[in-house]
Structure 1
Amino acid sequence: MNRRKLYPAISIVILAGLITLVLFGGDNWLGRLFGTAGLDDIKRDRLEQSARPMFDRQNVELVGHIGGTAHAIAVQGNYAYTGIGSELAVLDMSDPMNPNRVGYVVLPGQVMDVKFADSLVYAASDLGGLRVVDVSNPASPYPVGYLSALACAESIFLSGGYAYVGCNNGPLQIVDISNPASPMLVGSWKGSAGGIAVFENTAYVTGKDGALAVLDVTNPASPAQVGSLSIGSPASSIVVQAGKGSSGRYAYIASDSGLRIVDVTDPASLSIVGSFDTPGWASGVTLKDDLAYLACSQNVSTGGSGGLWIVDVKDPAAPVEVSHIGNTMLYSQVAVEGNSAYLVEPAHGIQVMDISNPAAIQEAGIYKTFPDPNVITLSGDNASTPFAVIGDRSRSLAVVDLADAANPRLVGSRDLLYVPQDLKLSGNFVYIASNDGAGGPGGWYLIDVSDPSNPAEAGFNPSSVVHSGVALAGGFAYFTGEYNQNQGAFNIVDISNPSSPNDVGALEFSGFGETIEIQANYAYVADGHGLQVIDIITPTAPVAVQSIDTDGYARSAAVSGDYAFVANWSKGLQIIDISDPAELHMVSSYNPSRYVSDVAISGKYAYLLEVAVTSESGQRTSWLEVMDISDPSAPAVVGYYLGFPYARDIAVANDTIYVAAGGLYVLRLGTSAISGSVVQANGSPVPGVSISAGPEMQTTTDDLGNFRFDGIPLGGYELTPALTGYTFYPPALSSATISPYNQYQIFTMLPPTDTAVLSPDAAANLDLAGLQGQNLNVEFPAGAATFTGTISLEPTIVSDGAGFAFAGHAFNLAVLAN
């Protein structure tokens, strides 16, 4: 049949009908169409509502955190406020033998120093500047203010309503904190300021340049140097106090050579009056009564001991050792409260010493950390208590209880001889690929974690291979790495009897052997140059099947179904079709303008770790991006999280994301909601309309015409309304992604199309009932047509050319020849 146009006279009748509908139509229909209704339902992310967001993120929420390098401590009463990795952690020290974390808050970057005053902690963050945290409830610390626009932030001192913030490379910055919610920079001084003390209107600063500088800060906006003195070696900590009686003022300085005591009574005439040398580097100092407590770091050049030294400084000119406890630790700070000294050890955590008898120091408890996690593996769904096993660059292993994702707990640890580069868990055993961390070989470990609190070495197999990756499948362990420069190594070990592993196969290939994944009878290796596919159907004789160059540096690969996802460093994410392992081809790519270092796949999502380098400082920060890969040819970003220190590994289980980044971050991919309503063209609600958002996602509009889908995964959806005999505008809504806000959509239900037979000798009539509450009648007199056909009147919102429109309303009018 052919479609024919009606005569213009008929069109005029229709136009008149349309005008009548607009004049007598219903309420704010256009407003409803364009979404002015339903905005109260939109729920915004609580961090994005905050006036002081700490992290840039969308659809990914921080759930929990633990670990990182220990940097700082301040003690008040029974609580220690510590900077460990990115968190300000509150430790209950009421039992010095068993320090316990009771609260924490995660801040940007690394928390380098902390000071306590009036239920507030002021934290110096290397990426976040000055952060102010309310700790009035130790179990629930929360940020109240910040000043990020600082040149650096490594050390901090509080005095007279000001925070003095500095770092070893300078400068010293003076911040007005009279309003903690809104700190303001008021002055600065260019000079090394790793150690800071302020006494009355004078600031004393030391640093890696080995000098003591004295500044007049009577006017904080314009500090003026009034004195200086060479200490002779880098100095990182300083305490200033008045002498006994009227005997002046002294500075007690921890330097690489030991304790130096300086008479600072006259800033113009400074002099060292007393000294006490330590075998290691003195990194921190504090005073109590007439005793100086020195935190010392082992001198790695000479082997000089680290530890805690207690020195009698009653006579500043003649300091005398009271006692010490030596070890190989690298203590960096010390605080004293009551009968305990608290020492910060970057790789181990917070060590508590009993100093009730200063002449006989005794070790008490320790709050342990893992400073620099490199790789993560998860216990899986069968474990009675979920846990993560973490390989740390400090040559150690950590076991973290994940039963409470918001409060992960370190429950076990073990030192290793080599640096773990990859690890996988099978049953009670962890298989670890390791090397020396400097390009040299190591071997692979077998660790028994049947008792998570006490991981035990069950075997170590030295190797000439620089191991980088490990995968487990079918009773075999598959290791990859390199023999030498650009000579990849692939080894297969029979682990059917974990206590007696047996090497069964090996293969060399061109590349580096970074990571490995097993699917069916093939191993997929990210080899630096690209993706390498190895046939492993015969474990004793693995065969290289195919490879593809990704034109970048392939650091990691993940496999799912017919596709491999390659983290290709500066060239982003590459998606490769592996449906035929012998014929690989590129499907698509995504380049975020950052360096993609790792990728993990779970369900319909790819999780990317990305590295951004700050050109000014060379500092590395990391992103997490989440991509919908349900269509591998068109991956779409659905969420991201920015705020990590340098991230090294990622693992995903049940929509929970675990990131190794200066500690363990626990994150969760958010869900979203779609809601809306169905109305008639006059705005009246339409109940009982079926709404579909995909398979197993159906609902029906309620009495008010509303519908809602809650808790749906992020991604793209097509909404389709249906009610027998009716059409809708729009007929379907296609959405590329779900935004961080609730999506709201309004459908307008139109009356059914009316049809009639029109012939040259007979009149015809069309009726549309209920459109904007009006009845529309269109009459066709005899002789209106020159041929016999079927005429149809179809209500729509936008004309497609067959009808006329007014204020957004139109009808498609057509005659089809019989």
Structure 2
Amino acid sequence: MVRSVLKLIIILIFSVSGLLGGAKIALNKIGAFGGIYNDIQSNGDIIYAATANGLEIFDVKNPSKAKLMGSFYTQGYTKAVIVKNNIAYLAADKEGLLVINLADKRNPFLIGKYDTDGIATSIFMRKNIIYLADGDKGLKIIDVSNPSIPKLLGKFNTKGRADGVAVKGKYAYVADFSNGVEILDISNPSSIKKVGNFMNTEGAKYRAPITEEEKNVGAKSIVIDGNLAYVADYYTGLQILDISNPAHPVMIGNYPKTKAFKLVKKGDYVLIADNDTGLKIVNVSNPYSPRLVGEYNTAIGYSSGGGGNAVAVKGNYAYLANNGSGTILDISNISHPRLVAAYNSCGKAWNVTIKGNKAYIADFNYGLEIVDISNAAKPKLLGSYKLDGEAYSVAIDGDYAYVAAYDGGLKILNVKNPYAPKLVSSIKPAGSAMGVAVKDGFAFVASHSFGLQVINVKNPYAPYVVAGLRGNNGKMYAEAIKIVGNFAYIAGFYDGLHIVDISNPVRPFVVATLDTPGSAFGVDVKNGYAYVADYGQGLQIVDVSNPAAPKLKGNYNTNGYAYGVSVEGKYAYVADYHMGVKMVDISNPSKPFLRGKYKTNSLSINTAVKGNHIFVANSFSGLQVLENSVSAFVMRLYKNILTRTPQQAGLDFWVSQLVDKGKTATWVARGFFVSKEFKSLNLSDEEFVKRAYTTLLGRAPDKGGLDYWVGQLKSGKLNRDQVFYLFSFSKEFAGICKKYGIKNYDQNDIKAYESLKK
């Protein structure tokens, strides 16, 4: 039986071998925290939020204490969500329609998808049919009667950008942004026909004077009630249309004073997610004369979440999706909405620092967030503190966090209790605080056009400025700072790299400046080299072995705007702004080259590295966690075979074998199984087979399988080497290798197996 199975395996080997080869390392998104909340839906005591990173599920049985239950991460933005029968349907931007099983809300998982050709933005569902607003590609009608296999029934390419959709009878009403409202006959989904259109080309009918912006059309979403359609138009506010004749819709009412994104209707009221201020509540009992009766501004105050993107209603509560938070409001008094709770996650992540199992996020909008990353795939908020300045950077020293808060200066917080960080002091040195590093009781602040500011923080409750340095010419820019030994390395914007002697903190002085070709925004220093994120000129590598005489050693054009950089081992991880993250091999500083990349769904500002995980401060998408796939594969071998974590030298060796030497996963895994360390464990045949299952098949053995393979070993029909190869040639191991982007085996591995039979 084994021989016949092997013959089949060999046929498959020769047909697929090499498909997964190559020297690039895959960076995979495995987790995220925070980001924009794009949509929200209420379903009983559960709230479902479509975010910049996927789906978040909250228990709101007690609205004042909303609890995050579970999450599902997408590769890009998730624009909208609708839930039916424990299944979530996501409009997932470039990924199209995703279908998620919610039977276990703590562990939702993908069961189906339909990859549209547009930007999936909004969803309407009737029975088992999904009506999907697909951006520039118009309307898609998809049958999900079998959720695992969504089936396209029809499509219609509208003239504008389909941002929203609602259905009544045989008509679909598409909020087509610049094209207004498109009305389509969908009675035959395979042959959709346009029957009407409404475009308010005169701007807000009842507002004067009309600005140039207000002359624009921006239909974002639509809700239908009877013969009336309520349209959220970004430029002209709430429009109320009479659609009793779908071929000739007529606007009968307009409330213009809102940047309307999405809306819901509750009785005589329309609740509008206002993208500028939060929530507007409009009385529409007389549709000819809608009037504002209540509002809540989420863009100000401690619980500020920016403007509103979507709103849902359950009973006396309104749930608002904001830019980085979810806001729960009591609307029992419709004229005076009252804040019940706000779930602030991360609105605009600008920087991240790792210490132990915690990530400290400098959130441009919200201040400081402390996140548990003990499980990197599921970052969890521990605590946060809202600051009065834009948080650009954070440094951790002992029990204190030091936040560079731009015009708010330097903020010092006690973070000994990560669940309740406390502000202990604040100081405003000259300039605008952009970066910060702490050493020996002094905080060194990169203060933009005012250079370096040195603050004594030996008593964190009473900081004071002891020195300021504006360079040898009296003018020095400072965007970011890294301290190594007695030197501070400063990313100096137009000036390039400054190297400052801080051996006497009260008398710092510039020992050298190297003018880089671009604009230096970020810097890291390792092993005698400074790595400068040089904006439009990519990554610059500077030899600083002699700090007084820095020399440009090499550079790599990232093709984006290099904003931040962190170095771990032989790789520099560059935050390349709109181009995502670039993993640059710096083993030869004179000849750096691209080893891997990941296109994030927002602006990548800074990175931090821990092990094989890269934490990205990704602005509007919050914190994203990437995994170095090859390192992760090798660490998996250490864990499953040797039951330990690797030393850096060992990890680097095996990664190099896979990446630089072109070795296969089978070759590397065999190296572990035949190692002296593994053999010294003296495992029984049963324990050997169990580890082979776990490592090479990714699962525990069933009793029948375990008995069979142990029997083969005990009878002498197979030895352990042969069992290893048969497992490594399996479909299961091929699937594992595909996940990590590694070639599983080649002809040399087959020959090695064949030699064992001689």
TM-score by length of 1: 0.67
Change (3 A) 1:361 1:504: closer
Q: Which has the larger radius of gyration?
A: 1
Aligned to 1:377: 353
Deviation at 1:68, TM superposition (A): 0.4
State the partner residue of 1:123.
Answer: 90
Structure 2 residue 579 is the aligned partner of structure 1 residue 625: no
Which residue of 340, 352, 367 corresponds with 2:343?
A: 367
Which residue in 2 is equivalent to 1:294? 271
99-108 vs 198-207, which moves further: 198-207
Residue 573 of structure 2 aligns to a residue whose secondary structure is strand
CA contact (8 A) 1:621 1:644 kept: no
Compute the displacement of 1:87 (Å).
1.9
Distance 1:653 1:444 in 2: 26
Structure-2 separation of matches of 1:395 and 1:708: 41
Moved more, 448-457 or 491-500: 448-457
Map 1:277-356 to 2 at 5 A.
277=255, 280-288=258-266, 290-297=267-274, 306-309=278-281, 311=283, 313=285, 316=287, 324-329=294-299, 330-347=307-324, 349-355=325-331
Structure ranking higher on relative contact order (CA contacts 8 Å, 6+ apart):
1
Q: What is the identity, as a one-letter code, of the residue corresponding to 1:522?
A: F
Once the two structures are overlaid, the 10-residue window that deviates more, 56-65 or 228-237, is 56-65
Q: Partner residue of 2:554?
A: 588
User: 1:82 deviation in Å?
Assistant: 0.9
Give the direction of change, closer, same or farther, for the CA distance of 1:293–1:740 in structure 2 (3 Å limit).
Answer: farther
The correspondence for 2:248, drawn from 269, 275, 281, is 269
Task: Encode CA deviations 1:523-545: one digit per residue, 9 max, x unaligned.
Answer: 11122343221122232332221
Instruction: Report 1:784-799 matches (<5 A).
Output: none
More strand by share: 1
Q: How does 1:351-430 map to 2 (within 5 A)?
A: 351-355=327-331, 362-378=338-354, 380-381=355-356, 386-430=357-401
Percent of aligned positions with the same letter in both sequences? 27
Taking the aligned partners of 1:357 and 1:57, their CA distance within structure 2 comes to: 59
**Aligned pair count?**
628
Query: Structure 1 residue 269: deviation in Å?
Result: 3.3
Instruction: Indicate if the aligned counterparts of 1:254 and 1:294 stay in contact, CA closer than 8 A.
Output: no
State the match for 1:518 in structure 2.
483
Matched ranges for 1:478-557 at <5 A: 478-483=444-449, 489-509=451-471, 512-528=477-493, 529-557=495-523
Which moved further from structure 2: 597-606 or 93-102? 597-606
2: CA distance between counterparts of 1:81 and 1:141? 12
Contact 1:86 1:108 in 2 (8 A): yes
Q: Is the 8 A contact 1:239 1:286 kept in 2?
A: yes
Residues in 1 aligned to 2:232 and 2:253: alpha-carbon distance in whole angstroms: 12
1:657–1:188 CA distance, 2 compared to 1 (3 A)? same
- 1:108 pairs with one of 75, 82, 100: 75
User: Which deviates more from structure 2 when the two are superposed, residues 536-545 or residues 220-229?
Assistant: 220-229
2: CA distance, partners of 1:57 / 1:645: 23
Q: Check 1:521–1:132 CA distance in 2 against 1; reply closer, same or farther (3 A cut).
A: same
Deviation at 1:554, TM superposition (A): 2.7
In 1, Cα distance between the equivalents of 2:375 and 2:442?
Answer: 33
Q: Which amino acid aligns with 2:378?
A: N
Map of 1:793 onto structure 2: none
| 1:238 is aligned to 2:215 | no
**In structure 2, do the counterparts of structure 1 residues 420 and 182 end up closer, same or farther at CA, with 3 Å as the change threshold?**
same
One-letter identity of the residue aligned with 1:625 = M
- The one-character-per-residue Cα deviations of 1:600-656 (angstroms, maximum 9, x if unpaired) are 123454323234xxxxxxxx3412426463x54555666544444221111223444
Helix, strand or coil at the partner of 1:97: helix
Given that residues 117 and 137 in structure 2 are in contact (C-alpha distance below 8 angstroms), is that contact kept between their aligned partners in structure 1? no
- Residues 296 and 568 (structure 1 numbering): CA distance in 2 closer, same or farther, change over 3 Å? closer
Q: For 1:61-100, what aligned pairs fall within 5 Å after superposition? A: 61-100=28-67
CA change 1:44–1:404 in 2 (3 A) is farther
C-alpha contact (below 8 Å) 1:495/1:502 kept by paired residues = yes
Matched residue, 2:623: 664
One-letter amino acid of the structure 1 residue matched with residue 362 of structure 2: G
C-alpha distance in structure 1 between counterparts of 2:615 and 2:45, whole Å:
32
Kept after mapping to 1: 8 A contact 2:99/2:110? yes
1:407 shift after superposition: 2.9
Deviation at 1:58, TM superposition (A): 4.0
Relative to 1, partners in 2 of residues 1:711 and 1:738: Cα closer, same or farther, differing over 3 Å? Answer: farther
Gaps of 5+ in 2: 205-217, 300-306, 672-758
Deviation at 1:355, TM superposition (A): 4.9
Q: Going by fraction, where is helix more abundant, 1 or 2?
A: 2
Distance 1:540 1:558 in 2: 24
Q: Is the 8 A contact 1:443 1:462 kept in 2?
A: yes
Unaligned runs of 5+ in 1: 1-27, 50-55, 243-248, 300-304, 436-440, 612-619, 677-696, 698-705, 720-731, 748-818
Q: TM-score, normalised by structure 2?
A: 0.72
User: Which secondary structure does the structure 1 equivalent of 2:79 belong to?
Assistant: strand
